[in-house]
Amino acid sequence: MRPKSKSLSPQPSTLNPLPKFLQNQVILVKQTTLQCRGQLLDLSRPVVMGILNVTPDSFFDGGKFAGVDAALRQAEKMLSEGAAILDVGGASSRPGAAEVSEKEELERVVPVVEAIQRHFPKTIVSADTWRAGVAQAAVAAGASIVNDISGGQFDEQMFETVARLEVPYILMHIQGTPATMQQAPHYDDVTLEVLDYFIQKIARLRAMGVKDIVLDPGFGFGKTVEHNYQLLKHLHVFGNTTGLPVLAGISRKSMICKVLKVIPEHALNGTTALHVVALQQGANILRAHDVKEAMEVVRLWEQLEQTGG
């Protein structure tokens, strides 16, 4: 008799067990839609968010898509490959990145968002920014999600702005700032501390009236390689505990490069491998530089999930 195949739904790790209260947690019914300014984004199956950095200094694609024409070509490519969201960012958040002025960030982001909406009017665009002013201008230009690496820590007006704009908010965890975050990051228990951070921030956002929240544990943002893999191994905890969608942003990051001893340009295979793990651990959104390959992961994972026996 053939042995019964194991379930691929998110399971607590046996290698690095969580405290009992999390091992035995009640799994909430997860939110499966986001209301994006009149468009309903369905997250009942995983989707891919295409990274569109309109910056000169991002860690992998800096300078490639600066300017409206180059950004539009890349937007068209990613949409044709299946991206459900385009994440437009005008300020690099790589470790040690220098801060750009709000004026410069606006000049990079707003024309690109406007151009995408003109050429691809049904596209869901997220504004990758920690500044409330940039978030407001980007939404006015056509963006319908705010993706904030700081979780509201770098601009005290962000939560209030998102609540007023009535758009989904991607709440990311970060320890420190991009300039300092990789200078000896420390946690007693990274999973529990990130979860506690989320619970506190969610309560504040809910009190302000923010309805749609996505959680991003912030791989690489104030974490060692070990911290990153602990978070990936326990990614299911965040969605199961809160009932909220979870975003995995691991594309070509140092958690791959340091283990494989490669540069970001050679980290696509490692990214694909970890995308499979992220989906097994309950990720709803894969934030990726390489949309085609990420979509292939989603399709193969779905086939595996749907296959009986």
Rounded Cα distance between 66 and 109, Å, is 10
Q: Which of 223, 253, 258, 292 is catalytic?
A: 253
Which phi and psi (to 5°) does residue 80 adopt? Answer: -65, -25
Q: Which of 164, 287, 292, 299 is catalytic?
A: 287
Q: Catalytic residue at 287?
A: yes
In our burial notation (b when 16+ CB lie closer than 10 A, e otherwise), range 71-90 reads bbebbeebbebbbbbbbbbb
265 secondary structure, DSSP code? G
Q: Which residue is associated with the tokens 């986001």?
A: 34
Rounded Cα distance between 179 and 1, Å, is 58
Contact yes or no for 92/57 (Cβ under 8 A)? yes
Q: Catalytic residue at 253?
A: yes
Rounded Cα distance between 24 and 135, Å, is 39
10 Å Cβ neighbour count for 64? Answer: 16
Rounded Cα distance between 171 and 238, Å, is 12
SS3 (DSSP) at 61? coil
Closest alpha carbon to 246 in 49, 81, 93, 59: 49
Strands of the 124-128 sheet, one edge to the other: 213-216, 169-172, 145-148, 124-128, 85-89, 47-53, 285-288, 247-248
Rounded Cα distance between 146 and 281, Å, is 24
Phi-psi region of 135 (alpha: psi -120 to 50; beta: other; left: phi over 0): alpha
- Positions marked catalytic: 253, 287
